[in-house]
Amino acid sequence: SQELEQSPQSLIVQEGKNLTINCTSSKTLYGLYWYKQKYGEGLIFLMMLQKGGEEKSHEKITAKLDEKKQQSSLHITASQPSHAGIYLCGADVGGGYQKVTFGTGTKLQVIP
Amino acid sequence: DGGITQSPKYLFRKEGQNVTLSCEQNLNHDAMYWYRQDPGQGLRLIYYSQIVNDFQKGDIAEGYSVSREKKESFPLTVTSAQKNPTAFYLCASSPAPIYYEQYFGPGTRLTVT
């Protein structure tokens, strides 16, 4: 089973609509990171969350960390076609050395 | 412009052949990583290097080898021992110790038939 589960796996929304992507860890989180990937390309680092209750924003994208639930949510307000892509969460779940464990990704399509 | 380059973008090989994927960075980062991405499985760490002439196995190192002779270069060799080599391979680097802020290359899609 995956250490980091993302939901939904894919999402199709109409331009202008809001949406939320969730990332749940089966292990204690020491840090949670969000990345965006355009299909067939590398990842772009969006933001990092480290403390429970912490909330950060990057343009119209807001992410929040619920440490007790071992979960993070990423919310996009008034989606635009430029938001389309694959969103991956990453986390430091321990393991003896500093590394990022990645979730399976959520594919987002925004329809004009 | 600083960044990470991977070449080639697409690579085709016959089964049983070793193949080397290139990764170069001019960001002056100490740490470099190789990941493999398969549909529905996210990214899995193959190897990482925190400093020149040193590297460590990741979660799925079997069938792969790397070298780190120069700070800016971290080539990955996919050997014939790798049972399912067809995948999308991503190279990344980070300014140690900020290991989570990784900068990724555009990736190499390897197809082995």
Quote the pLDDT of residue A79.
Answer: 96
Per-residue pLDDT tens over the stretch B57-102: 998 999 999 999 999 999 999 999 899 999 999 999 998 777 888 8
Residues in chain A: 112
Cβ proximity of A109 and A19 under 8 Å:
no
Q: Do B99 and A99 touch (CB under 8 A)?
A: yes
Residues ≥6 apart with Cβ < 8 Å to A7: A21, A22, A24, A106
* Cα gap A75→A57, rounded to integer Å: 9
Quote the pLDDT of residue A95.
Answer: 58
Read off the pLDDT of each residue in A6-25 and give the average, rounded to a whole number.
96
Local confidence band at A40 (pLDDT 50, 70, 90 cut-offs)? confident
Q: Does the structure show a pLDDT above 70 at A1?
A: no
Which of chain B's residues have a Cβ under 8 Å away from the Cβ of A48?
100-101
Tally helices (H) and strands (E) across chain A. Answer: 0, 11
Q: Is A59 left (phi over 0), alpha (psi -120 to 50) or beta?
A: left
CB contacts < 8 A, A to B, total 53
Q: Percent of chain A beyond pLDDT 70?
A: 94
Q: Does the structure show a pLDDT above 90 at A24?
A: yes
Q: Does the structure show a pLDDT above 60 at B42?
A: yes
Both tokens assigned to B68: 């780190």
Per-residue pLDDT tens over the stretch A55-105: 999 889 999 998 888 899 999 999 999 999 999 999 887 655 567 889 989
CA-based radius of gyration for chain B: 13
Of the candidates B48, B88, B107, the beta carbon closest to that of A99 is on B48
The number of angstroms, rounded, from the C-alpha of A71 to the middle of its chain's C-alpha atoms is: 10
